[in-house]
Structure 1
Amino acid sequence: MLRHRTAPALAAIALLTAASVTACGSSATGTSQEQGDTLTVVSASPPASMDPAKANVGSDNWFVNLTYDTVLRMREGGKVDAGLATKWGYVGDGNQTFDFTLRDGVKFADGTPVTAEAVAASLEYSRKNGLNVSWVSAIDSVTATGPLTVRIHCSSPHPNVPHLLTQLLMIGSVISPKGLADPAKLGTQSFGAGPYVLDTANTASGDHYTYTPNPNYWDKSKIHWKKVVIKVVPNPNSALQAVKTGQADIISLNAGQVDTAKSGGLTITKSPIFFMGVNLADREGILAPPLKDVRVRQALNYAVDRQAIAKAVVQDYGQPTDQITLPGLDSYAADYDNHYPYDVAKAKQLLADAGYPNGFSLKMETQGMAGIDLVTQAVVQQWKQIGVSVDLTTDTSIGQWLSNATSKKYSALGFGYGGATGYLASLDWMLPHPTAFNPFASQDPELTRRLAAAAAAPADRAPALYQDVMRYAVDQAWFVAVLRMDGIYAYNAKKVTGFAAAIGYLPDLAWTTAPKA
């Protein structure tokens, strides 16, 4: 990304699907089975926190999901399925009230029961103390309505409550009352009901994290390993070498490492995971008056050779795009993927028509991570052809990026963002409140009207409405999307099975990654 919960551009990868779930039954509880010895995974960085509410979506999922069970589970293929809850769905029309029923007899790793009261308290903690304010902004209460039943009420339509409760976003990662009683410990210890517990005695923060089976887990068939170890190896070449030589089993790759991984006998799994480009944030022209004119914003889109940039940055592991979504998500409009073909002459004409025949200048900020800066620099170079000059600042840390992105000192922002449903993306990008992706709180009454209609719509009608929203935003040129790229992983298929990436789904260490028979 990356995508972080404060502003999903910082930590990578919260992939979601469009499907809204109305009801479902439970999955059967399994029995214990033969386990593999040790699964070793390589991570480029340590977790921001072991607290599910404060962890980074994407980069921290594996660290957290091993120890915390979630209310619902996202399955490969994008289906929301049973987790700690066996029944769930919206009440009535309008997507504002959501009920679910928990499994009976489930315990946290510390032995205390998983009750509706405990789950409601955990969700309230994550809602009020989590990093992503926008995604839960519509939720105004979480209440235990019985020993095993919980109601979530929203002040406005929220069609994606089921997605919030899955392992992908971790808001539904249930924390025990003992953990909530001492929040300071949540960052370094585990207080969940998941298949494993963090073995703090054999964990060195920032270096390696060791997990052992939770003896109280409700489904022993999901505990596939006697031990799981996540090693932090910042150097990508050293990390890949560890997997090639059998010191580790799983790694996330960049495009330039794929051939080396394949030649070393590793198996590759990949899926579109996030997109990058330039956000034309100053749409009212407060700092850069030309950006107030839609013709100028459209000119900046026509002046970008997306095909060339995509080939240079992601090679064969990504595609050019004009929209801020991914194929397979509800707001993806296939007919708008090449809405702004590369056309310098047309870009110059639009600038001239808007009164800027010689171009203009603006200040831009970008992120020096995950290739976002490379994409931004390429766009800046291509804009020079139409007379647009950029004073570019490159940030090297998440904190610096957040500070600059929300400072209102930059008219444009280089971005990376993980695929999200139309509703969740709109909370960051399109609704008139300040976020790191809409720092000037830009508003468009027509866009807001369309979003309200889509959020309240039944599940079968929502995708078409969100696709029209995306077409409208692209027409208004609120951004210069450039490319989408794949998340790429390599693993030892001689030892590991059930490890896969897909749209709407991250490879799942906790439930599906198992020893090869």
Structure 2
Amino acid sequence: MKKALIAVALASVTALALSACGSGGSDTASTTGAAGGPLNIGNFADVTSWDPSLADVGFAGPYLSAVYDPLIAVDGAGTPVPALATSWKVSDDYKKVTLDLRTGVTFSDGEKFDAAAAVKSLEYLKQGARSGEAYRSVEKFVAVDDKTVEIDLKERDDTLLYFMGIGRSYMMAPKAIAAGTLAKKPVGSGPYTLDSTSVAGSEYHFTKVKKHWDAKEFPFDPLAVYPIQDATARDNAMLSGQINVNYADDTALKQAKENGWNVAAKVSGWVGLQFTDRAGTKFKPLGDERVRQALNYAFDGASILKSVGSGAGKVSNQVFPAGLPGNVESLNSLYAYNVSKAKSLLAEAGYADGFELHMPMSQVFQVWQPVVDQTFKQLGITVTWDDMQYMDYQKNAPTYPMFVAFLSMDANPVATVQRMINLPQWYNPTPEIDQFPDVQAAVQKVLTAAPSAQAAQIEALNTLVTQKAWFSVWYQANNSYTSTSNIQVTPVVGMMFPTLRQIAAK
């Protein structure tokens, strides 16, 4: 899924953005009659598309949630909550989800939102190049009556509601879908509409919808979103009062402390080495568990987090987010930094003198390159870096046995199981779990367990793959946001930038 790519490129770029600390910032207060006053967001990335089937949900939250309503949203913990779907029921065999829909809602073009419109959007999303992942298990959508939609599944799918909630259930006007114009002109039922004064790639202004069905959740007026990739420019915009919510780097966090602004942070992605050939099919050393374990012991995650990540994150050697279901705190001591242990394991595996390999490198990952060079040198490993432009990294990196990665994480633990372990992704095109019967069996136990027993099965799987050194995770990095004192941001693991539902007036 492209969202993971966004985490790789953009979060790492943000981590690199160093700027001088300023002072004298303004604390933008309410200047209108609206309960929340103005909301001016400094986002890292531009909207990828106004078409929800094509949009990347990573940084698209503020943009898409302004103009579209979802069937299902998520709360701060990433738990699905009602939106246009007021409630839902999952059948006893987990293969049917029945949604009850809100009535009295219209799209900005005047069309009525009902079950038929919902099915039209859902079918469109299922075919989407990016949105389709959410609906891979869906057999069909059925409009039972005007306010009821049935989702029939080919197999149980515990990620469906979560994916719908993080940005894959935005409802679009049927006529706009048919016209094929959504990429440039969004037509939804959201709390705002895109204003004609917007300048693509520079600034987006939104007009508040009168009598929106959920107006209390969207108190801000006016609303603007500014895509500002350069951290220094974004920090200066916060100081000058142009924006009052900032996707924060280290300098922005210092500015917040000096100005009494709010800070919100939560882990967003893991940093380390992604292995793509754990069976050793193309690169024999990685097929030995002891080699992979050695590459866990050899990296000092705490030092890397402090020196490269500015301490903004959690030291961890697992891919399940810290503090969320599936994460096993005791595993974080499994690979305590120990170069001697790493060398011993390599020797046991027959690589006392190390080995040679090629790895890809791109500018956005160069901040971690010296760490890898130094660590590999201690182990006798010789790496040849193949330099490439970042846009080629996604295509080429998975063809190497391992590569430096910053991959986004999910709040839903089953989504982590599917994306990180079980199903092909751009960063893991051949999971090869069939080469590891114990892992394959553990995955199946997760996917078939009763809800009351699933957490224990997920923790067991996490323990197994961590012991087998499925990855070499150095730390989990934060996404941070600063906001003026009258605004509170709630980060959500799984979203690089939260939706407007997670930005509230204090």
Q: Name the TM-score, length of structure 2 as normaliser.
A: 0.88
Query: Which residue is 1:392 aligned to?
Result: 385
Distance 1:324 1:380, change over 3 A: farther
Distance 1:469 1:348, change over 3 A: same
Cα distance, 1:270 vs. partner?
A: 1.2
Distance 1:452 1:179, change over 3 A: farther
1:111–1:216 Cα contact (<8 Å) kept = no
Kindly, what percent of the aligned residue pairs are identical? 24
Moved more, 305-314 or 218-227: 218-227
Cα distance, 1:257 vs. partner?
A: 3.4
Query: Which residue is 1:418 aligned to?
Result: 408
Query: Which residue is 1:382 aligned to?
Result: 375
Q: Provide the aligned length of Structure 1 versus Structure 2.
A: 482
Query: Which residue is 1:178 aligned to?
Result: 175
Cα distance, 1:157 vs. partner?
A: 2.0
Instruction: Map 1:104-183; keep pairs closer than 5 Å.
Output: 104-131=103-130, 133-166=132-165, 168=166, 170-183=167-180
The one-letter code of the counterpart of 1:281 is: T
1:500–1:507 Cα contact (<8 Å) kept = no
The one-letter code of the counterpart of 2:136 is: S
Distance 2:134 2:387 in 1: 27
Distance 1:349 1:513 in 2: 50
Secondary structure of the residue aligned to 1:464 is: helix
Distance 2:266 2:208 in 1: 30
Secondary structure of the residue aligned to 1:483 is: strand
Report which of the two has the higher share of helix: 2
The one-letter code of the counterpart of 1:176 is: A
2:355–2:382 Cα contact (<8 Å) kept = yes
Please give the per-residue CA displacement for 1:448-500, whole angstroms capped at 9, x wherever unaligned: 2222221232332211111111111111212101111111111111xx33433
The one-letter code of the counterpart of 1:71 is: L
Cα distance, 1:512 vs. partner?
A: 5.4
The one-letter code of the counterpart of 2:456 is: A
Distance 1:181 1:509 in 2: 26
Please give the per-residue CA displacement for 1:255-291, whole angstroms capped at 9, x wherever unaligned: 3431133223422111122211111111122332111
Query: Which residue is 1:230 aligned to?
Result: 225
2:492–2:498 Cα contact (<8 Å) kept = no
2:70–2:84 Cα contact (<8 Å) kept = yes
Distance 1:295 1:382, change over 3 A: same
Query: Which residue is 2:238 aligned to?
Result: 243
Distance 1:385 1:135, change over 3 A: farther
Distance 1:92 1:373, change over 3 A: farther
Instruction: Map 1:100-499; keep pairs closer than 5 Å.
Output: 100-131=99-130, 133-166=132-165, 168=166, 170-183=167-180, 185-199=181-195, 201-215=196-210, 217-366=212-361, 368-369=363-364, 372-393=365-386, 395-397=388-390, 399-406=391-398, 408=399, 410-420=400-410, 421-431=412-422, 434-443=424-433, 444-493=436-485, 496-499=486-489
Query: Which residue is 2:61 aligned to?
Result: 61
2:137–2:157 Cα contact (<8 Å) kept = yes
Distance 2:385 2:134 in 1: 30
1:66–1:197 Cα contact (<8 Å) kept = yes
Instruction: Map 1:49-88; keep pairs closer than 5 Å.
Output: 49-88=49-88
| Structure 2 stretches lacking a partner, 5+ long | 12-32
2:134–2:168 Cα contact (<8 Å) kept = no
Distance 1:112 1:135, change over 3 A: closer
Cα distance, 1:210 vs. partner?
A: 1.0
Cα distance, 1:104 vs. partner?
A: 1.6
Secondary structure of the residue aligned to 2:100 is: strand
Distance 1:395 1:102 in 2: 49
Distance 1:182 1:405, change over 3 A: farther
Distance 1:514 1:307 in 2: 34
2:134–2:160 Cα contact (<8 Å) kept = no
Distance 1:300 1:505 in 2: 29
Secondary structure of the residue aligned to 1:230 is: strand
Distance 2:318 2:362 in 1: 20
The one-letter code of the counterpart of 2:466 is: V
1:313–1:374 Cα contact (<8 Å) kept = yes
The one-letter code of the counterpart of 1:129 is: G
Distance 1:73 1:424 in 2: 16
Cα distance, 1:230 vs. partner?
A: 0.9
Secondary structure of the residue aligned to 1:258 is: helix
| Structure 1 stretches lacking a partner, 5+ long | 14-32
Distance 1:376 1:53 in 2: 36
Secondary structure of the residue aligned to 1:42 is: strand
2:298–2:338 Cα contact (<8 Å) kept = yes
Query: Which residue is 1:96 aligned to?
Result: 95
1:11–1:56 Cα contact (<8 Å) kept = no
Query: Which residue is 1:25 aligned to?
Result: none
The one-letter code of the counterpart of 2:419 is: D
Distance 1:365 1:455, change over 3 A: same
Distance 1:467 1:417, change over 3 A: same
Secondary structure of the residue aligned to 1:59 is: helix
Please give the per-residue CA displacement for 1:68-126, whole angstroms capped at 9, x wherever unaligned: 11111212244422100112121113x33211110122111222111112112212211
Distance 1:212 1:362 in 2: 55
1:75–1:505 Cα contact (<8 Å) kept = no
